[in-house]
Structure 1
């Protein structure tokens, strides 16, 4: 069970059921409910009625209606949810409006957790309900904010990612929903997807009508400009265009001398251009900023090997393996350096260990093939 689903399913513990006696029926408008369908009740709601002295001898139909809505929000995969939906639509053709209204009312009246369940019910009642979808996404976002404030980063990320996914669904439904672009811009920026954030906010500037929000977005885009350039640059390098990437990244180096991710990507760009001395210099400086960063040790080890500094290359790669002993790529890299200095014992040990960790990796297979080829030549 995924984490978000598990979180809400636990809230179904707040539901109790009444089972109708055999050959007895409950009528909700034109819908007849027999003994095969259990009727849910929200436990907290009943307790509050008892405390306030408003509990009735006979349970009101509205209590069952609220129970069905709550259970759909807490556990939309519950076996009777489809029947509950039929009952709810039969009870009130505008039930979706009622669910949304009550959900927002509860949230605004500081009953946030229950309000969130109701808005989740709106989402699962009708996946084509745009406002139900959007307001549920906002509730998930607010829950994420509260979790982050409580230093619960993992759960906060779960709720924020779910919110992002649903706002994306909103845009799929209505490509002119301006507030969805406004929100997604922030979501993407927070996850360091700056180019996507820029696209969302530029779309909002086309659609949005609120002058203050428009100015807010223009200011955000201005302050985010270097992050956008950085993302464009490293994407160029990672997709095989190191020269274009370096053209974007090198000007940033003058402004951000201690931005190690930037310097690492510059080093990677140089290595991809076979400029090993320049790459080595960048990686060595990065290690001064973030000692024992595994990816940097690996890249530096490769540069040193290409420069013929084999012992130092083995030293850097060995340190990387100490820090990340199950990394077959680094192990394979060290094996190939051993192969360069004709240390077949250690080369075979490393490459076979890498192959054991991942026998389907193309580079590992190629290293093993090269090892066998050279051994057969000796």
Structure 2
């Protein structure tokens, strides 16, 4: 428990009230004093008492007086949930995710059995994860994704889920390419929602999922094999998928990815070019093409494709790291160091780029 909490005895305080709340004599009131300060008479006020109670709610889940503290807080500050929720939403919309998560965790401590409290944390962790993925900070993103999943699992246990829960569950699984679960949640959302704008968005997503066949078993098996480094076994599944969905860029992209991982770069480029004809907006396709050309030593084409990928996704640190490697291989160590430093500035824990920078320094 925090050293900044002092407990004030209420013994002998018969019929004592704080606001409209009748204080019990047998339960001491916790008072939170910031920054290791000393307790003084002026610091014993409702705000600091609530601060102490919130610290206990968040740090001592086995405390015997949690329900009493919650009753006190909602009696003395009946608008606390609305105020905190508004502040958390504002922080989240400004992409101050850590601040938003801190507030959402307080709200969960106040209402641990609330669907909304668990859903808000799930959504915020998910948004934070997506932001980190977009910036190429994959390891941090995966940690946030796992935390989001923990809270989405709790939300999923509620029997009667509101439409916004169905929407965000569908979106979460869509981003993780678990299309079967995504479709199930989105279908239920469409059946229940009164939000016509969001309904149209989801119907379009469902159409794309079904048109592109990403729920197809051959596609799913191919993805699983490539992720488990069994690229050579994936081609039969990919070919069957392409035959069923010839207008989907995903099949050619997967085939290109498999060839690139097998270091068959010319075959990879041939298939990635086909994927590009079906989807010119994917930074992933350009990034893969950049890797292929870089490994073939065709640096000007590698640089061109990495830059196209970067224009599509300017915050992706993976693309920046790939550019650093390209310039190193090209012999332009100064430019390579520049890109390394950009990546490390935004993600000091990026071991790949830190090792690349060390290698460049040793070869100067």
The TM-score with structure 1 as length reference comes to 0.50
Q: Does 1:130 align with 2:115?
A: yes
Partner of 1:41: 32
Cα deviation 1:305-361 (Å, max 9, x = unaligned) = xxxxxxxxxxxxxxxxxxxxxxxxxxxxxxxxxxxxxxxxxxxxxxxxxxxxxxxxx
Q: Rg: which structure is higher? A: 1
Correspondence 1:16 to 2:4: yes
The match for 1:251 is: 244
1:72-151 residue pairs with structure 2 within 5 A? 72-73=57-58, 75=59, 77=61, 80=63, 82-90=64-72, 92=74, 98-108=79-89, 110=91, 113-148=98-133, 151=136
Question: Kindly tell me: are residues 220 and 109 of structure 1, through their superposed partners in 2, closer, same or farther at Cα, counting changes over 3 Å?
Answer: closer
Q: What do the CA deviations read for 1:135-162 (whole angstroms, capped 9, x no partner)?
A: 2333333443454455433233322332
In 2, distance between residues paired with 1:134 and 1:231?
A: 29
- Deviation of 1:261 after TM superposition, in Å, equals 5.1
User: SS of 1:18's equivalent?
Assistant: strand
* Aligned 8 A contact 1:233 1:245 in 2: yes
Unaligned runs of 5+ in 1: 1-11, 47-54, 265-282, 293-378
Superposed displacement of residue 187, structure 1: 1.0
* 3-state SS in 1 of match to 2:177: coil
2:166 to 168, 172, 181: 181
Q: Deviations over 1:7-64 (max 9, x none)?
A: xxxxx87x72224479898976332366xx6825262799xxxxxxxx9724202311
Q: CA deviation at 1:178?
A: 0.9
What SS is found at the alignment partner of 1:106? helix
CA-to-aligned-CA distance 1:225-274 (integer Å, 9 cap, x gap): 35544642245788xxx99997545334675474235896xxxxxxxxxx
Cα distance in 1 for partners of 2:10, 2:32 equals: 20
- 2:53 is equivalent to residue 62 of structure 1: no
CA distance 1:230–1:197, shift in 2 (3 Å): closer
Change (3 A) 1:254 1:146: closer
Determine if contact 1:229/1:249 at 8 Å carries over to the other structure.
no
Question: Where does residue 215 of structure 1 map in the other structure?
Answer: 200
Q: How far apart are 1:284 and its partner, in Å?
A: 11
Structure 1 Cα separation of the partners of residues 33 and 121 of structure 2: 20
Larger RCO: Structure 1 or Structure 2 (Cα < 8 Å, ≥ 6 residues apart)?
A: 2
Cα 1:150–1:58 change in 2 (3 A) is same
**Which deviates more from structure 2 when the two are superposed, residues 86-95 or residues 242-251?**
242-251
> Which sections of structure 2, spanning at least 5 residues, go unmatched?
225-234, 269-364
Query: Does the 8 Å CA contact 1:141/1:160 hold for their aligned counterparts?
Result: yes
Q: Report the Cα distance in structure 2 between the residues aligned to 1:234 and 1:138, rounded to whole angstroms.
A: 28
Q: Is the contact between residue 194 and residue 227 of structure 1 (CA under 8 Å) also seen in structure 2?
A: no
Is the alpha carbon distance of 1:228 and 1:30 closer, same or farther for their aligned partners in structure 2, counting shifts above 3 Å?
farther
**Displacement after TM superposition at 1:130 (Å):** 2.3
* Structure 2 counterpart of 1:194: 179
1:288 aligns with 2:264: yes
Q: What is the distance in 2 between the residues matched to 1:116 and 1:284?
A: 39
- Greater CA drift, 171-180 or 19-28: 19-28
Change (3 A) 1:38 1:223: same
CA-to-aligned-CA distance 1:101-130 (integer Å, 9 cap, x gap):
232132245486455334223324443322
Q: Which residue of 1 aligns with 2:303?
A: none
Tell me which residue corresponds to 1:30: 23
Closer, same or farther: CA 33–150 of 1 in aligned 2, 3 Å: farther
- CA distance in 2 between partners of 1:230 and 1:290 (Å): 29
Q: 1:243 to 1:146 in 2, by over 3 A?
A: closer
CA RMSD, aligned part only? 4.6
TM-score by length of 2: 0.52
